Amino acid sequence: MADMAVIAIFLYFCAMKKIGYWIEAMRLRTLPVSVAGVLMALGYNVDNGTFKFLPAAICLVFAILCQIASNFANEYYDYRAGRDRRGRQGPRRGVTEGEITPHAMKTATFSVLAAAALLGLSLTLWGGPWLIAAGIAISLGALAYSAGPYPLSTHCLGEVAVFFFFGIIPVNLTYYVQALDWSHSVFLGSCAIGLMGANVLIINNYRDIPDDRSAGKNTLATAWGPKAMRILYCVNALLAVIFTMHVWYVLPAGWYVVPVAYLIASLRISREMSRRSGARLTPLLGMTSVCMFAYALCFLIATYTWRSLLIW
């Protein structure tokens, strides 16, 4: 019995370790990026009185699943193309390190993507059947970042892809399935979130410049160099705030602290980028992701409290 207990404990810890590899592959530091887009849209829905809980919740889960599928695809296709190597500067890649089999990662990628697609189909109940085409485009985008004959991540288009698939598309579609309308203000907000999301990728690629150059992976960071990327990071942050100032402007003055705090945090992160290298840049990626999430969450809270006061 004692031997059986030891074996059971051993198998338990092996299973936990395997789960840990999968959690690492999900890249939890980046998941707030997909959540932020939905929260930003909900802020506009609340402000306009068009918020609907169920489609909003579905959009949130859909966005998270799509990002996880994209992260899995990135790991699998970068491994298959030889763009990752053991002992890289950034977080470990389970497939490259031999901790997850390529077949398992490929299966997980398409399983999560299929789950997202099935969930997304339910949004046609609110937004109409044309959303099927949008869902197909999103699914292809999740794969096109790393796969296909022209992977976006290896042709200096990663930041552009993030701008559209984590900013323009999720913010506008989340708003639409509840309001059944489009808005110029919402579009500007989606641009802001897209730029904030691009900053997360900027730090990721900034950290990976040595690894990507050795692997022949062409990113905007390898093409432009560290200094230009730090400048771009600051420009994106400033433009993001400018694109949303029309909403902060009509809110009570105390809420101005949010865009100001975001700009200060972004400038400090940019300064830290010049002082760090390799794995020491990874925390800055998490900080950028959290700042983006906090900005969108505060935007939602601000619009909710302001509308509640107006109604009261």
Other residues' Cβ atoms within 10 Å of the Cβ of residue 166: 29
Average pLDDT on 271-289 reads 93
pLDDT at 130 (0 to 100): 94
Average pLDDT of the residues in 108-131: 94
pLDDT score for 80 = 85
- Which backbone phi and psi does 218 adopt, to 5 degrees? -95, 110
pTM of the predicted protein model? 0.90
CA 76, 82, 84: angle at the middle one, nearest 5?
70
Span 68-112, pLDDT tens digits: 999 999 888 888 877 766 666 566 777 777 788 888 889 999 999
Which of these, 244, 281, 283, lies nearest to 260 by C-alpha position? 244
> What's the pLDDT tens digit per position in 176-234?
999 999 999 999 999 999 999 999 999 999 999 998 888 788 999 999 999 999 999 99
pLDDT of 124 > 50? The answer is yes
